[in-house]
Amino acid sequence: MARQRLPMRAVAAQVLQAVSDGQSLAQALPTGLAQVAESERSQLQALCYGTCRWYHRLNAELKSRLHKPLKKGDRITVPLILVALFQIRHSRQADYAVVNETVEAGRSLGKPHLAGLINAILRAALREGEPEPANDADRLSHPEWMTEKLRHNWPERWQAILEGNNDQGPMTLRVNARQQSREDYLKALGEVGITAIATPFAEQGIQLERPCSVDQLPGFDIGAVSVQDEAAQLCTQLLDLHPGQRVLDACAAPGGKTCAILETAEDLQVVALDQSDERMVRVRENLDRLQVDAQLLTADAAQLEHWWDGQPFDRILLDVPCSASGVVRRHPDIKLLRREEDIPALADIQLNLLEQLWTTLKPGGRLVYATCSVFPQENHRIIQRFMKAHADAALTMPDLAWGLDTGAGRQLFPERGSHDGFFYACLTRIDHPSANQATSS
């Protein structure tokens, strides 16, 4: 007998339970999407993303309405009610339909004994309205540690960062300069009725007024454009690429920046390295779509003996693994997945990668250190620690119209209706360490 489909909101609860248990949305959502009708897929995705985005605030409300804790075996009821609260607080769905459907979804998940509880909590939520959040973390819907860390690190900006994380970032494209100019592509978009503007900082960037499916973008399948945030696109301007250079993209997968590098100058010898086999497949797919090529290597970048042939690089992009705290608006599950203790552990990995890869850079060569983090521990403090121990490293930031000068690299914050949070530092390896003078602008 064919198994009956679970209601979509029950599937959403299962996806969110998996995220609470440590899976990313990117891992958990495909299983959920496969369980619902095609017509429900975009709504399932919106419910999962939206509930993660508002998870901490909704959960604070749920806790205030639950008078005793649920039994361990009933914990699927928590995400189920959070999905309903998300709809009540943030969507136009008819309120009482949400209550009834949630009670039904609880039954389909084998929890008929909780129908009364679900019904009572949601009806009280409708009747009484949203309670006043008890603190800033609940109000801005972030974990407390993240809220306090940002307040401490950026006393003037923490609130704007957290508010920005609750927005949805715009859809931004990078025009493949090898195929056409940005102006020509803007015209091509206009011809198919897509409204867009040129980005202010990234030379090849175009920001769409409204997101759309990539199938609607002229020439997407033949590599005319790629989807990439404006902040991520800035790496090529910092690398100062010239034909003939040997370039290492050290943490390359899924290859967004590898492709941007290959589009910037002809005749580059690019080595794209990543330790993840699975993610390397994505690099190959992206290169193929753009009809460009690089040498792909799968290895731990810090273990030079496993991958380096001893030929130094003119340019290195080191886009290290990080907390991704600058891209929370695109990946709201980060709020649930990341822990405070991850940050010092990531900082150790980042500094070690920088130390190891420095030795593969040519004297006179440039290394661009990048993260999509807004925590100084992963950003300018790494550069400061590195500079202290390396007399042959000079900070050589060009004049830039974007970001905040930290004195050891440039910090971008997620901006409403604009780019993500990012950090960049340019380091040049000098021949004669005694001539080391840090120049930052």
Ligand X SMILES: C[S@@+](CC[C@H](N)C(=O)[O-])C[C@H]1O[C@@H](n2cnc3c(N)ncnc32)[C@H](O)[C@@H]1O
Whichever of 38 and 277 has its CB closer to ligand X, that residue is 277
Count of other CB atoms within 10 angstroms of residue 38: 7
Is 257 flagged in the annotation as binding?
Answer: yes
Is 252 flagged in the annotation as binding?
Answer: yes
Cis upstream peptide for 254 (omega within 30°): yes
Among 21, 183, 300, 340, interactor with ligand X by CB under 6 A: 300
DSSP β-bridge partners for residue 367: 316, 427
* Closest to 391 (Cα-Cα) out of 421, 420, 363, 419: 363
| Contact map string, positions 328 to 367, toward ligand X, x by CB under 6 A | -------------------------x--------------
- The distance of Cα 130 from the centroid of its chain, to the nearest Å, equals 30
Whichever of 149 and 257 has its CB closer to ligand X, that residue is 257
Q: Tokens 């080191």 label which residue?
A: 318
Among 53, 257, 366, 419, interactor with ligand X by CB under 6 A: 257
Q: Which of the following is catalytic: 48, 235, 322, 372? A: 372
Q: State which H helix or E strand residue 407 sits in.
A: none
d(CA 271, CA 302): 15
Whichever of 121 and 173 has its CB closer to ligand X, that residue is 173
103 makes contact with ligand X (CB under 6 A): no
Structure tokens that stand for 138 in this block: 């609940």
d(CA 330, CA 167): 9
Q: Is 372 a catalytic residue?
A: yes
Alpha helices in 166-205 (DSSP H): 182-191
302 makes contact with ligand X (CB under 6 A): yes
Letter for the amino acid at 96? Answer: Y
Q: Give the shortest CB-353-to-ligand X separation in angstroms.
A: 6
321 makes contact with ligand X (CB under 6 A): yes
Whichever of 373 and 418 has its CB closer to ligand X, that residue is 373
Letter for the amino acid at 285? Answer: E
Q: Give the shortest CB-372-to-ligand X separation in angstroms.
A: 6
301 makes contact with ligand X (CB under 6 A): yes
* Closest to 295 (Cα-Cα) out of 255, 325, 242, 338: 255
234 makes contact with ligand X (CB under 6 A): no
Among 275, 323, 350, 373, interactor with ligand X by CB under 6 A: 275
Is 426 flagged in the annotation as binding?
Answer: no
Q: Tokens 């306090």 label which residue?
A: 148
Whichever of 157 and 282 has its CB closer to ligand X, that residue is 282
> Which residues, 6+ apart, have CB-to-CB distance to 104 below 8 Å?
7
Among 109, 253, 296, 382, interactor with ligand X by CB under 6 A: 253
Residues in contact with ligand X by the rule CB under 6 A: 251-257, 273-276, 279, 300-302, 319, 321, 353
| Residues that are catalytic | 372
